[in-house]
Amino acid sequence: MNNEVATKTDLDVLKHELLDKLVDKDQHQKDMAKLATKEELNQAVAKLATKEQLNQAVAKLATKEELKWEINELRREIKQIDERHNQRYEKIIVTLDGIAGLLQNGRVEKAATEASFQRHERTLDDHEHRIEQLELQHA
């Protein structure tokens, strides 16, 4: 075994020799070209919101309790609207029921009037026939 001490230069030369053997320089340069530069990373990071900006944006959002309260308010409003619609619906049903009753009464009255008219027609025809016979007897 050799007890010589290696210098820093010796180690750097050995490191480069080993790297050259392990990594193809052209492939290494191509791989390195694909990576973002420090400037490109800084530009990308500059576009992002800061922690303070995010905190300000989040502070404007409603809390869970506020959302629950809003949901309950909406439920109450929907229930009130539903009750008003039910009341209006009931009024409409009552009105339509009244109109249907009037129509039914009109139909019954029409049928009665037609029957009465036919009876009067038969009676008039009968009277006309008897008058003609009386006139023929006196002529």
Question: Tens digit of pLDDT for each residue in 16-47?
Answer: 888 777 767 777 777 777 888 889 888 888 88
Mapping DSSP to helix (H, G, I), strand (E, B) and coil, where does residue 4 land? coil
Give yes or no for a contact between 52 and 59, defined as CB atoms under 8 angstroms apart: no
> How many domains are contained in the chain?
2
Provide CB contacts within 8 A for 36, sequence distance 6+.
44
Percent pLDDT > 90 in the chain is: 53
Q: Name the residue range of residue 128's domain.
A: 84-139
* Same domain membership, residue 56 and residue 20: yes
* Coarse DSSP helix, strand, coil percentages of the chain, rounded to the nearest 5 percent: 85, 0, 15
Do 48 and 40 form a contact (C-beta atoms < 8 A)? no
Residue 46 and residue 88 in one domain: no
Residue 1 belongs to some domain of the structure: no
Does residue 51 lie within any of the structural domains? yes
Whole-number average pLDDT of the chain: 89
**What's the gap between Cα 53 and its chain centre?**
32
123 belongs to a structural domain: yes
Query: 94 with 49, same domain?
Result: no
Residue 70 lies in a domain: no
Q: pTM for the complete prediction?
A: 0.42
- Whether 91 and 138 share a structural domain: yes
51 and 95 assigned to the same domain? no
- Dmax (CA) of the chain: 173
Question: Is residue 132 assigned to a domain?
Answer: yes
Vertex 45, ends 41 and 48: CA angle to 5°? 155
Select the more confidently predicted residue: 29 or 106.
106
